[in-house]
Structure 1
Amino acid sequence: MSPSSKESSINLGDKNELFILAIHNSPDVIWVKDLNSKYLMVNTSYLKFYNKSEDEIIGKVDSDIFSKELSELFLKSDKEVLQRQETTVLYFNTEHLNETKNIMTIKSPLFGAEGKIIGILGNSRDVTQSEKLNKELEESNAILNMIFEHAPDPIFVKDLNGIYTNVNRAFADFHGLTVRSAQGKTDNDLFDSEIAEKFLIEDKRIIDTGRVEVSEVTLFVDKKLRTTSVTKGPIFSKNYKPMGIMGIVHDITYNKQVAAKLIESQKMDSIGNLAGGIAHDLNNTLSGVMGYASLILTQESLDENKVYLEKIINASKRAAKLIDRLQTFTKKHVDQLISVDLNSIISDTYALINPSIQAKLKINLDLDSDLMELDGDPTQISQVVMNLLFNAIDSIEGQGKISISTTMASLADLDSYIMKSPNIKPGEFVKLTINDTGKGIPEELMDKIFEPFFTTKIDGTVKGNGLGLTIVYNVVTNHGGVIDVKSEINEGTTFDVYFPIGNLVTDEKILTMKAQEKLNLGLVLIVEDEEDVRILLGRMLTILGYTSISATNGLEGVAIFEERHNEIDLVFLDMVMPEMDGKDTFLQMKLIDSDVKVIISSGYTREKFSEILDLGISAILEKPYSINELSETINSVLR
């Protein structure tokens, strides 16, 4: 029935007429069949879609209209609706205007006034576009899932409760788990308490600030120490509410090793620049030693000899201090953070290189006396200061001036583009500024100055071997800091370096106060094969108020510890001993008492014991040491 004959006489109060009008104006294809699947009614959209008239449809069955394949499909679904007396959904393809269309048809039983089925109601819709979008979405999701699953780096998703809801295969392999068993776990299940607590604090900060953060974590993987970089960011719902955190873990152990080699290589290059100045100072100091010694040989008065001896001692101390500076510079670095006074490092570095600076260069120091300490490796921080100084010196031809200053800075003081760095976290910063009046750096080279081995031609405006600024960048980044560089041609260059204030500052001040108040008395076990060292250490401990017992080798030390470990507060352990070396002795003691506190005392340098440090040694005290150094070390362990 066509709506055209009804439209002029329709009664808007007649619900049936309104219903028929709605059906015929619907964009969906709507039809009604009787119990024999003959068409009783079709709407306008049906006629337009199939390009048919009512006479070609009404009273006909599907086999009169459609292909055999489609008509059989339609008839089968009609019978299912009538037999089951419930709605069914049918999908099929048909040709429309020379295009293949995906059609979705919903068929429902049509009930009469008495509640009996009198026919079938159908509603068809063109879902070609939505099907296409769904297919594209499925393909896109499949690609994303493939990337997620097969990515070489561990990837994870956590909810707001810190539960891992999704992880990839690399993450599961990293922790020795399956993907299924890794899901549902928390950081407390996967890491030790210290790292789990660190991640918890980071996750809360990321959710609160909505910022992406990058942190460095050192872990044991397959019994090997690995350094990883973890990038984490918030996940938001459609209404921009935080849902959780997504993170990617990248193994940077190799990068760290390469950076360490670069540092060592650059140190040797820098030593050449320092050699002239060090030789000058050392020769002057030794001249004083030899001169005063010669005077003693010519004098008979003990009083005069005493004065000369004091001069010799003072000159020797100056020589020792100079040598100590060089040793600090040349020894291999250890990734152990302590509280660092940046002003002291600048002063020491300036004193070290000042003799090698030409008289035409003037260096001004403006160091903030209220500067807070930072957490860092003093050797590496010295490298930053020294490399930036050499960079400034090399940039000046003829007369020039270099300014070195320090001050405190807050997050608001940083340029906006620096604040966007994922390496920056809220808090206060120690700011180091080194400015020179050199030729400056061309704008086109600014993005390359931190690249390894980058340098310009001999006639360029940037000098160097290509490693110094790379090392500066690596060290500053590894300390959680950032660098800002500004330069103008023929005006000069300014490097602003920002180091974050750390937690060790407060801890060390508290430790110093406690050490000044009093020491914790207790029983100390000395395990040392050298008799003179055992006796000397025992006497020093007695003076400090401790009781000591001794063992001449590792086997004897383990036996004593096993018998009296409940009484022993601290163990002093030599590394090189007969019978059982220091490492095996320590491991045996840990089996007896996992909380044993052990101080390694050895004539070797600290980097010799990097492996045992990772096993839980409390402290290292390098020989020779004074009674004050001994007291401070013990107090730091037993505090």
Structure 2
Amino acid sequence: MGIVNGSVMNIDLSKIIDFAALQKLMESLYKATGINHALIDNNSNVLTAVGWQPLCTDFHRVNPKTCDRCLVSDRYILEHLNDGPYVGYECPNGLVDYCTPVIIGGEHVANIFTGQMFHEPPDLAFFQRQAKTFGFEEEAYLNAVAKVKIIPRERMPDVMAFLAGLAGMVGEMGLLHLKQLNVEKELERTVASRTEELLESEAKFESLFQNSPDPTWLMNEQNLFELCNEAAARILEYDSTDALYLTDPADLSPEFQPDGRKSVEVAAEMIALAYEKGVHRFEWTHRRKSGECFPVEVTLSRLASSNKKGLYCIWRDITERKQAEEKLQYSEQRFRDVSDAAGEYLWEIDANMVYTYVSERSVEVKGYRPDELVGHTPMEFMPEEDIRSVGAIVNKSIAGKTAFKLQHRDITKSGETLWEEVNGVPVYDSSGNVIGLRGTGLNITERKETEEKLRKLSQAIENAGSSIIITDKDGVIEYANPAFTQMTGYSFEEAVGQTPRLLKSGNQNKTFYAAMWASISRGEIWQGKVIDRKKDGSFFPAMLSIAPIADESGEITHFVGSHADLSDLKYMEEQFHQSQKMEAIGTLVGGIAHDFNNMIAGITGNIYLAKKAAKEIPEVQERLINIEKLSFRSADLIKQLLTFARKDTVRMSIFSLTSFIKEAFKLIHSSTPENIELQLNAGGDELLVKGDATQLQQVLMNLINNARDAVERVENPRIMVKVETFHCDAQFIKKHTLFTQGDYAHICVTDNGCGVPERQKDHLFEPFFTTKEQGKGTGLGLAMVFGAVKTHHGFVDVDSIEGLGSTFHVYLPLLEDKRPGKALQQAVPSSQRGSGELILLVDDEEHLLDVTREVLEELGYQVITASNGSEAIDLFTAYQHKVALIMMDVVMPKIGGVKAAEVIRKLNPAIKIIFSTGYDKAANISKEELRGSVVLSKPYDVDDLSALIKDMFDS
């Protein structure tokens, strides 16, 4: 049987291969590296195996159809085993298998398989389809897929070189053991035969002894040869046994054994043990006659003879076995080298968690040499906060006899903190008890830092206020952050898989996008403004920035795009332009208001004097009164413009809006063409508001004038004015976000005129915007309405349909329980005359100075005049004991009224002063500068002026 018969095919391989030891070795390899295997003989018997995947065993090998695919893989591998040291094949079921043959004595007896792995992350869609196709339970099947190891293709040459080397080693050891088995069997037969022959004949024993294939000799009590066989003489390179007899046994060994001890001393020790124990086996190094040393395994047996002391020695050349062991050690070293290449160090700890072995790689990882770690526990090198959690995991592994994987921090020899990833497996004794752990450690500090950076970057992108998307190189969206959803209305699921074309608005042409794509394809960053479209179809302006993302080779793989919504910016720009218009109006109005009011003041003064002169002529009186009204209305118009431009003070009082509208409506109605039907529906309720009567009168007038122009070409023109209470509820606020809940006075002005086109509605209240033909509108009427209503904390809205008419809505906040102020209820007193008091009148406008002097003299006062502040100071210095009151313009050349008043008050702090002013920025007089004085705006009513002077004299 076996090699003796010229074949090993029929021998029991377990007799020549230690499968238990091989199984443990491969289990350790699998636990440390994830490399599985199966040793299968030619009769398909599994001799050793570890790590075989349930994806294959529980699914593919069970289903008849997938099993046929597996058999295709098996046949391919077996048919191509002679093509090289190993063969690999990707099974149609999706797994990759490798195989290398085991050869013993030139005969193929078994195969070592590895595989059931992936070289790349699995295509889950493929396995989902496969589960449906072959009726596998999808979740269990995909869980089995997830357990399959992923080993990069580039690692397989090293892995298969190791397994091929292991197969060769197994073959060589098997061959050696087979030879040894045959020799042992032969020896057993020989010894048995010779023992029997020895009993029969000494000659037969001699023959048997000499023909033994193993070197054998007998040694006497003096440790000299008594018998030697031919095998011993041949192997030791002596010509004959006689020559060997003449040799001192000490000459058959080198001076020193491999452990450094002298051979003579070791030999004496081994012989003594043999005499003591009866049989003693040990390894030894012999030396041939040529001087070559070689390893042997020696068995010394004490002779059983009662009358003769000696030793029977048989030894075997174990050179081949030693070489096989060296190959195994080399293979183990290669495994260590693979671990080193992966940046890992190897370690072993006992059941007390004390290091018993650490590889040299620990210096690079931890900074400690192996001898500085052995004898210590891993916890001694950890921060305190990690010790408990790590200890719990390790203890659980020992108790449960399971592998573990964990990450923890270590403190290096230099005091730095690093992150380490540790993989470990239990180590067992012969009884199956856990006696420790072994595994690998890897410095993952850089990986942890990278993961933290990625986490922060991911969080920053997720929480960014700008919309961010990432596309592949073809522009297909792979990621969109929450701001994208908020800005565009598209969810993450709706966006992914699409291209940015889903935002295309049509405002940019093909040339625009072609230039953009060309720029980013060259690796350049593109930035510019675009008009995009939201999911709801609305457009929005955006600042778009696109940057390419390249791999290590510089090839563009992705693009990242950032969107910033410019809607608010556009609104702010429009507001800025609006404020510029308002500033221009303010500059214009402020420039003319002072002079205009001075002229009006001169006109009204002359009218007063003319009325006095023509008081006996009713027709003239009536005309003068109308001119006076027009003059004051002109002044009110300037005041409106100043208020509109925010350059005048608003005078608020509480009054009944209902009554006020009715009175104002009478004046407006009288100036409205008779062909226009003008109606008022004011109801009976008194609606109390706090407002400036002049401004609100202008609001109503401007709205009716606007309506009057709108119905100019209508056959039956109608204008309806309505005043009512309006309650603003939550539903109304949803549509009109500027409102707050409460009660409002609602003024509606409705016409059946031409209406306003939809595109122009947003511009109606802008200054200088008009829909009227040239010469018929300034574009300020509705803008003044808007400004005045806003000053009253109210709101303006418009409903209009082109060709059918418009309704303008004014909403003013109502007061709850107030009564109209006295200002509107009291009649203006008639002019009050003076008693000859001396008034110093100061104004730089000559015509106004003359008219006002005449008015004051007509009222019964004496008047002296000055044309500027400097003259006023001189005159007051000369007449300070006679001057009872000063009426002085604010803005004048040389020295203005305020500065002149400061000098005058030093002469007489109690002097009474009336500051008169048109409009100018310098008119903003502080309380400190007034010091009890009053300000009278030009133009002023003579009755008001006379009452004011009288009050100041009486105070």
TM-score (norm 1): 0.44
TM-score (norm 2): 0.32
- Greater Rg over alpha carbons, structure: 2
